[in-house]
């Protein structure tokens, strides 16, 4: 029996090639070709990913070994030594790259809002405010921009509309996205320049630094399905002040 | 750190958040260094490889979103593939094939199997359906990054025979995994 027969005509050799790539047994030139196809062909990339998933439990056998302290500084030199320029030289066209850029532009506005929101809590100055996180929400191809301040102690999200308007018969809904989980609704954003949304205990447990907030366009009253149904017009991640 | 936390760090790294990247390194570099070291069997080489791996993680973190892998498995896959690419491009064959066999392989141990859960048991069950030496070749290739050429030399068979042999094992594994 030949390999082609074993492999079955409907599959072609790609699934087996993906397996060989993941297993790691291919010679250099064939690995290079396979690696090029992962970048170029979604279908092949999916076969490879599926084999990675199948075989990954074997990786439990890799022992942890602390690398020497010199490695991390060397990585940072490689990535960031050409000054701050490298941090903004993110891949162009990506939402997050433009967010980072936009975030830089609005740093001053953000600082002003933080001060505005924080001032009432700064008296007396010795009181350390409870955890407060901020996010600036924006997206490519959208003029909707919000500044967000989350006050964990008061379970309150303060939203300041910087620009953009909702269309007639539409509402903006705020979502929290944590890791790879499905978005969780935090509610319809009330109309107005400066508004607040109370945070439910369930959301509060997950709302932490690094969570992503997003604003979608929904029918009046919010998404009928519990998941975003309209386009995301602004998004950003929560960061410590 | 839970897998969820590692996911969050990868997502934040994709947004070029350096604090998240630093934390991600602290949490995962020991595992990834273990991978590089085992495949490359040379400390200097493994240190160099680990640097390159984290440079990749920084630049390609956005790809995590389209993978079905758990966050730590996604990172391990980057490190493994990078270390294997590196060892394949070495001019002369691995210094000492025998050395690879001396590396203690604790095997999947009962704890690891319990921790990793159902999917983990599946691959181990399927490996058990293979003849013992073939299952060993699959595990050895995966963990040590051995090539067809390495395996052929060790088992003293022609390279094409080894390839046929291993491909049949992979087909059997696939059939079992999909059962």
The enclosing domain of B58 has a CATH number of 1.10.1740.10
Please provide the size of chain A in residues. 241
Domains for chain A: give ranges and CATH numbers: 3-61 (no CATH), 106-240 (2.60.40)
Stronger pLDDT, A111 or A75, i.e. the higher one: A75
Q: pLDDT band at A155, cuts 50/70/90?
A: confident
**For residue A45, what pLDDT is reported?**
93
Nearest to B177 among A3, A54, A94 (CB): A54
Q: What is the pLDDT of residues A208-237, one digit of tens each?
A: 777 889 999 998 889 888 888 888 888 888
Domains contained in chain B, number = 2
Q: Same structural domain for residues B56 and B120?
A: no
* Containing structural domain, residue B55: 1-95
Q: Same structural domain for residues B108 and B85?
A: no
Q: Same structural domain for residues B7 and B91?
A: yes
Q: How many Å apart are CA B166 and CA A49, to the nearest integer?
A: 20
Which one of B10, B31, B33 would you mutate to disrupt binding with A, by most A Cβ within 10 Å of its Cβ? B33
Q: Same structural domain for residues B14 and B83?
A: yes
Q: Same structural domain for residues B174 and B119?
A: yes
How much is the average pLDDT of A148-153?
84
Q: How far is CA A191 from the centre of its chain?
A: 26
Q: Same structural domain for residues B172 and B113?
A: yes
Give a three-class secondary structure readout of A91-145: CCCCHHHHHHHHHHHCHHHHHHHHHHHHHHHCCCCCCCCCCEEEEEEECCCCCCE
Number of other CB atoms surrounding residue A87 within 10 Å: 15
Report how far apart, in Å, the C-alpha atoms of A162 and of each of A135, A181, A195, A199, B169 are. Answer: 13, 28, 12, 22, 60
Number of other CB atoms surrounding residue B165 within 10 Å: 18
Q: Same structural domain for residues B73 and B120?
A: no
3-state helix, strand, coil in chain A (%, to 5): 40, 25, 40
Q: Same structural domain for residues B108 and B86?
A: no
Q: B50, B69, B95: which is the final residue of a domain? A: B95
CATH number at residue B158: 1.10.10.10
**For residue B54, what pLDDT is reported?**
98
Which one of B77, B90, B110 would you mutate to disrupt binding with A, by most A Cβ within 10 Å of its Cβ? B77
Give a three-class secondary structure readout of B89-111: CCCCCCCCHHHHHHCCCCCCCHH
How much is the average pLDDT of A112-138?
58
Q: Same structural domain for residues B3 and B59?
A: yes
Contact at CB, A24 and B81, closer than 8 angstroms: yes
Which strands form A232-237's sheet, in the order they lie side by side? Answer: A184-188, A170-177, A212-219, A232-237
How much is the average pLDDT of A175-189?
86
Nearest to A57 among B120, B166, B170 (CB): B120
Close Cβ partners of B68 (under 8 Å, ≥ 6 residues apart): A49, A50, A53
Contact at CB, B76 and A62, closer than 8 angstroms: yes
Q: pLDDT band at A132, cuts 50/70/90?
A: confident
Q: What is the ipTM of this complex?
A: 0.87
Contact at CB, B34 and A80, closer than 8 angstroms: no
Q: B95, B116, B132: which is the final residue of a domain? A: B95
Which residues in chain B have Cβ-Cβ distances shorter than 8 Å to A67?
Answer: 29-30, 33, 47, 50
Stronger pLDDT, A139 or A2, i.e. the higher one: A139
Q: pLDDT band at B66, cuts 50/70/90?
A: confident
**In the predicted model, is pLDDT for residue A170 greater than 50?**
yes
Q: Same structural domain for residues B63 and B135?
A: no
Q: What is the pLDDT of residues B50-65, one digit of tens each?
A: 999 999 999 999 888 8
Close Cβ partners of B151 (under 8 Å, ≥ 6 residues apart): A25, B137, B140, B141, B162, B166
**In the predicted model, is pLDDT for residue B74 greater than 60?**
yes
Q: Same structural domain for residues B118 and B166?
A: yes
Contact at CB, B20 and A72, closer than 8 angstroms: no
Q: Nearest-5° angle of CA B35, CA A22, CA B14? A: 70
Phi and psi at residue B33, in whole multiples of 5°? -70, -40
Stronger pLDDT, A101 or A11, i.e. the higher one: A11
Which residues in chain B have Cβ-Cβ distances shorter than 8 Å to A40?
Answer: none
Contact A160, A193 (CB under 8 A): yes
Contact at CB, A62 and B31, closer than 8 angstroms: yes
Q: Same structural domain for residues B113 and B86?
A: no
Nearest to B88 among A23, A31, A74 (CB): A31
**In the predicted model, is pLDDT for residue B29 greater than 90?**
yes
Please provide the size of chain B in residues. 179
Contact A227, A183 (CB under 8 A): yes
The helix (run of H) or strand (run of E) holding residue A175 is: strand A170-177
Q: B68, B95, B122: which is the final residue of a domain? A: B95
Contact A5, B171 (CB under 8 A): no
- Per-residue tokens: B142: 């995966």
């Amino acid at each position: 029996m030949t390999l082609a027969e074993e492999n079955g005509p409907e599959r072609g050799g790609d699934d087996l090639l993906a397996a060989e790539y993941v297993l790691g047994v291919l010679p250099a030139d064939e690995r290079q070709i396979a690696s090029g196809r992962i970048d170029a062909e979604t279908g092949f990339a999916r076969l490879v990913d599926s084999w990675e998933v199948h075989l990954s439990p074997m990786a439990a056998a890799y022992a942890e070994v602390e690398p020497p302290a010199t490695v991390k500084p060397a990585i940072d030199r490689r990535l960031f030594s050409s000054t701050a320029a490298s941090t903004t030289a993110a891949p162009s066209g990506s939402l997050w790259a433009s967010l980072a850029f936009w975030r830089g532009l609005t740093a001053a506005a953000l600082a002003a809002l933080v001060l505005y929101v924080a001032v009432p809590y700064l008296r007396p100055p010795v009181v350390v405010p409870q955890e407060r996180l901020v996010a600036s929400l924006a997206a490519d191809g959208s003029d909707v921009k919000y500044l967000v301040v989350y006050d964990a102690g008061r379970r309150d999200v303060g939203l300041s509309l910087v620009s953009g308007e909702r269309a007639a018969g539409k509402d903006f809904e705020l979502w929290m996205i944590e890791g790879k989980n499905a978005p969780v609704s935090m509610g319809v954003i009330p109309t107005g320049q400066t508004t607040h949304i109370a945070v439910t205990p369930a959301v509060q447990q997950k709302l932490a630094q690094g969570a992503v907030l997003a604003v979608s366009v929904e029918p009046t009253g919010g998404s009928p399905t519990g998941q975003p149904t309209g386009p995301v017009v602004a998004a950003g991640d929560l960061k410590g002040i | 750190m839970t897998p969820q936390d590692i996911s969050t760090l990868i997502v934040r790294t994709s947004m070029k958040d350096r604090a998240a990247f630093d934390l991600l390194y602290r949490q995962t570099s020991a595992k990834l260094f273990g991978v590089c070291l085992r495949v490359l069997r040379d400390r200097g080489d493994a240190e160099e490889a680990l640097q390159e791996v984290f440079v990749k993680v920084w630049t390609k973190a956005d790809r995590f979103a389209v993978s079905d892998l758990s966050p730590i498995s996604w990172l391990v896959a980057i490190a493994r593939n990078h270390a294997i690419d590196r060892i394949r491009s070495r001019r002369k064959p691995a210094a000492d094939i025998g050395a690879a066999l001396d590396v203690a392989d604790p095997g999947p141990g009962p704890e690891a199997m319990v921790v990793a859960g159902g999917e983990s048991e599946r691959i181990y069950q399927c490996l058990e359906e293979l003849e013992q030496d073939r299952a060993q070749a699959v595990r050895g290739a995966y963990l040590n990054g051995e090539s067809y050429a390495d395996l052929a030399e060790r088992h003293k068979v022609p390279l094409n025979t080894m390839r046929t042999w291993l491909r049949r094992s992979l087909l059997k594994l696939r059939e079992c995994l999909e059962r």
